[in-house]
Structure 1
Amino acid sequence: MQETRTVRRKVRLRPVRPGGWWFDVLLVAGFGALTWALAAGHLLDLDLAVRRWTVDHDPAALWWTARILNLLGQGGALLMPVAGGLAVAVAWRARSVRPLLLVAATFLVTYLTIGPLKVWTDRAAPSAVTKEPFLAPEVAVPIFNHQLPPGTYDMGYPSGHVANAIVWYGVIAVLLVALTAGRLPVGAYRLVRFAPPVILLCTTTYLGYHWLTDGLAALLLGWFLDRLLHRVPWNDLPLPARLRGWDGRYPDGRHTDGRHTEPTN
């Protein structure tokens, strides 16, 4: 009697662009250097100058436009439900549980990194200067300010809106490519992928939700997390026995040789 053997897929990390780990190290080093500079008192004048400019240039039409566009960064109310709905649609169509694993991993990665960093760095929002508790600028702008008064919003660094936008819209773009079987127009893909982080960097700074450096730090952190998630070979990860009935491969926006592809027209 011939023995039946189970052939396992070889699991290899997917390449990202720019390739190699050097760029990931550069992103982490940049985040660390920016955090150190703020802790040492550098760049605080830049944050204050940008905030003064936004306060002096706040016509109602521009403020409301920024307020509406800022809703693009609502994680619990928008990003996670949209990504989850797309993952369910792709999973059902491809008979694959793997899109759900991508969304679950994204939630865990963002939850275990962005939130703890906010708590650790203890930075007030710029709006604390103009709204209750009406802090002096030199009190609101420092990082690692563990002497902030009770009730102060003190989880400003890095910006969760910006970091989440990079990570979650990257996932949404991949799922849209999968759902459309690669027929998503290039322009639509790039718009979903890159526009929200830029919009949220501008709107969170303009509205006084975050200092400029909060958003810059979030860009570095979010890009790093995004690259980690895109390195994972979701189609090749071994699954437990109970999930193997839904072990289909789904189009994840990549060629079989590992090169990332944007959808073609």
Structure 2
Amino acid sequence: MGRMEQVAVRTRARPVTGWWLDAALLAGFVALTFALARGHLLALDEAIADWALAHQPAALYWPARVLNYLGQGGQVLMPVTVLLMVLLIRRTRSVRPVLVFLSAFVLMYLTVGPLKVWLDRAAPKFEGPDRAVLFNPYASGFKALSYPSGHVANALVWYAAIALLAAALLRAYGRELPPRALVALRLLPPVIVFCTTTYLAFHWITDSVAGLLLGLILVRLMARVPWDRVPLPPLPGGVQRPAGLG
């Protein structure tokens, strides 16, 4: 048995509870969306956003602005994921790390993006009428892409992919990512992005909650994938071999 096969055998299975939690998260997202569409919670959104916009001294604004980049998919998260993917491919000579990147990209592209376009909600800084409503008739295009928060969903999905690739890369060198570091990598960025996105008034707080619910569903879907056992056809050089991803 080769080294990567041994690594794959001793990789721990991911503890994922039953589908009931996924159903509960989806129900929460649907209920929140329905409530907003009926005009509920809008006053709460506006009160929090208005408070945030009125309390942004430079000493708080700029640190929050920098930390918010932790949720930037195209500028930060995707490049980091690609770098880890390439390093793991080179180390393991396996194509399977590509599956992790593609799954994160496709899941985000097929869910968060279309929902933003369909639900047509302006951000807190929109100066037109009915700024907090869904299906806003006065905002369109890039001005109406607030719900759900892509920053929060990005932070959940992409850091899950980053943690998976980073742990496999260290494992390929005979090391283990400490459990606390793994938890911190997956938990702290979404919490920071949730808080900074709301504080900076880039999104309504219900946008961030919706991004959290949707992102958790996507992360749980990814956690169920047996990456090293996904059927692949025989490829040149045996690059369909396991990569220590579990």
Q: TM-score, normalized by length of structure 1?
A: 0.83
Q: 2:25 touches 2:214 (CA, 8 Å); kept in 1?
A: yes
> How far, CA to CA, are the matches of 1:149 and 1:249 in structure 2?
48
Letter in 1 for 2:64: A
Q: 1:97 touches 1:243 (CA, 8 Å); kept in 2?
A: no
1:227-255 Cα offsets, whole Å, 9 max, x none, are 10111111111112336710221222x5x
Q: CA deviation at 1:15?
A: 5.6
Mark the runs of 5 or more structure 1 residues left unpaired by the alignment. 1-13, 129-133, 255-265
Q: CA deviation at 1:188?
A: 2.0
Name the structure 2 match of 1:216. 209
> How far, CA to CA, are the matches of 1:177 and 1:49 in structure 2?
42
> How far, CA to CA, are the matches of 1:36 and 1:115 in structure 2?
18
Structure 1 counterpart of 2:133, from 130, 142, 148: 142
Mark the runs of 5 or more structure 2 residues left unpaired by the alignment. 1-12
1:71-120 Cα offsets, whole Å, 9 max, x none, are 11111111111111101111221121111111112111111111000000
> How far, CA to CA, are the matches of 2:80 and 2:56 in structure 1?
31
Structure 2 counterpart of 1:233, from 223, 226, 236: 226
1:112-152 Cα offsets, whole Å, 9 max, x none, are 11100000000000011xxxxx224xx1000122x124566
Letter in 1 for 2:184: L
Name the structure 2 match of 1:156. 146
Q: CA deviation at 1:58?
A: 1.1
Structure 2 counterpart of 1:165, from 147, 155, 160: 155
Return 150-159 or 171-180, whichever deviates more.
150-159
SS of alignment partner, residue 230 of structure 2: coil
The 1:40–1:244 alpha-carbon spacing in structure 2 relative to 1, beyond 3 Å, is farther
Tell me whether 1:195 sits opposite 2:188 in the alignment.
yes
Name the structure 1 match of 2:169. 179
Q: 2:120 touches 2:140 (CA, 8 Å); kept in 1?
A: no
> How far, CA to CA, are the matches of 1:209 and 1:56 in structure 2?
14
SS of alignment partner, residue 125 of structure 1: coil
Q: CA deviation at 1:159?
A: 0.3
Q: Indicate the RMSD between aligned Cα atoms, in angstroms.
A: 1.6
SS of alignment partner, residue 25 of structure 1: helix
The 1:21–1:15 alpha-carbon spacing in structure 2 relative to 1, beyond 3 Å, is farther
Tell me whether 1:91 sits opposite 2:84 in the alignment.
no
> How far, CA to CA, are the matches of 1:42 and 1:151 in structure 2?
24
Letter in 2 for 1:172: I
Name the structure 1 match of 2:120. 122
Tell me whether 1:207 sits opposite 2:200 in the alignment.
yes
The 1:150–1:193 alpha-carbon spacing in structure 2 relative to 1, beyond 3 Å, is closer
- Which residues of 2 match residues 3-42 of structure 1 at below 5 A? 16-17=15-16, 19-42=17-40
Name the structure 1 match of 2:3. none
SS of alignment partner, residue 235 of structure 1: helix
> How far, CA to CA, are the matches of 1:175 and 1:152 in structure 2?
32
Pair member with larger Rg: 1
The 1:151–1:219 alpha-carbon spacing in structure 2 relative to 1, beyond 3 Å, is closer
Give the percent of matched residue pairs that are identical in Structure 1 and Structure 2: 52
Q: TM-score, normalized by length of structure 2?
A: 0.89
The 1:36–1:100 alpha-carbon spacing in structure 2 relative to 1, beyond 3 Å, is same
SS of alignment partner, residue 184 of structure 1: coil
Q: 2:154 touches 2:215 (CA, 8 Å); kept in 1?
A: yes
Name the structure 2 match of 1:52. 50
1:2-51 Cα offsets, whole Å, 9 max, x none, are xxxxxxxxxxxx7643x110001001111000000000111111101101
